[in-house]
Amino acid sequence: MKIGFIGLGNMGGPMAANLAAAGHDVTGFDPIAPYPEGIETAQSGKDAARGRDVVITMLPDGAILRAVAAEIVPVMARCTVFLDCSTVDVSSARDVAEQAAKAGLLPLDAPVSGGVGGASGGTLTFMVGGEKAAFDIAKPLFDIMGQKAVHCGASGNGQAAKICNNMILGVTMIATCEAFALADKLGLDRQAMYDVVSTSSGQSWSMTTYCPAPGIGPESPADRAYAPGFAAELMLKDLRLAQEAAEETDADTPLGLAARDLYARFVDEEDGKGMDFSAMLPRFTRRSRT
């Protein structure tokens, strides 16, 4: 396929490289990031989008997605798939999809889970909103960039799935970290805590796959001095998006709200910026109740 790829940062760069390595004709644009090997260089987003079968965007946020969409939608041919893989607010995803559909394009919102490692290794999970026909066209590309793609329904539902998943992740990571900190104060050995919880009803991905305690469980960012991994500020971004969506839909999400506030404090006022999101554990162990 002829693919335009806009946004070649930490995630987009390796995703575009995997598509090129699989034999697709990829033309990319990014104002700052280096161009990965095998990618043809465009001078603008418009250049990257014109005359392609599929245009993929991997951008920082909804405002930038809206700006890029305003630029590229008018130059894309009818029936081109407009595949946005960024994590953005549900409203931006739905507005951009509506604009694209009106222009005769096939929009998909397809945020990912799996981080930079998943992007490089081609093992991302895609959560996809939009028409099934568009999903079917993009499926071979999902299979190159990832290991799983779930069609979640109408436009915006990919973003909805992403923020709900990450709200669970933020809450369970905090719960896991505060439980480890309590266990420390009770004199319970961390390995014993892990052995019990990882096979009991308190287990979660945060405990068994991404254990926040160094030297316990499978290797994780905790074993690399909490270098990310999944940075605390990215978790904060997703928790903020979840709260925006909860406010718009009048959904009661008290734990999601508490998680957002804790990560906001951690990133903005404490030493969480640039740390993995599991560094909540040393944060809790340093603190007392007040």
Q: How far is the CB of 198 from ligand NAD (least distance, A)?
A: 24
Q: Which is nearer to ligand NAD, 58 or 181 (CB)?
A: 58
User: What residues line the site for ligand NAD (CB under 6 A)?
Assistant: 6-12, 29-33, 45, 58-60, 64, 68, 86-87, 112, 115-116, 230, 234, 237
Q: How far is the CB of 102 from ligand NAD (least distance, A)?
A: 22
What percent of the chain is helix, strand and coil (3-state, nearest 5)?
A: 50, 15, 35
Of 102, 100, 34, nearest in space to 69 by CA: 100
Active-site annotation holds for 162: yes
Q: Which is nearer to ligand NAD, 84 or 207 (CB)?
A: 84
Residues pairing with 72 in the sheet: none
Rounded (5°) CA angle 107-149-240: 70
Q: Which is nearer to ligand NAD, 9 or 121 (CB)?
A: 9
Pick the catalytic residue: 132, 162, 185, 237?
A: 162
Q: How far is the CB of 32 from ligand NAD (least distance, A)?
A: 4
13, 33 in Cβ contact below 8 A? yes
Rounded (5°) CA angle 15-123-96: 50
Q: Which is nearer to ligand NAD, 7 or 217 (CB)?
A: 7
How does DSSP classify residue 224? G
Token pair listed for 244 = 């925006």
Residues pairing with 112 in the sheet: 126
Q: How far is the CB of 24 from ligand NAD (least distance, A)?
A: 19
Catalytic residues: 162
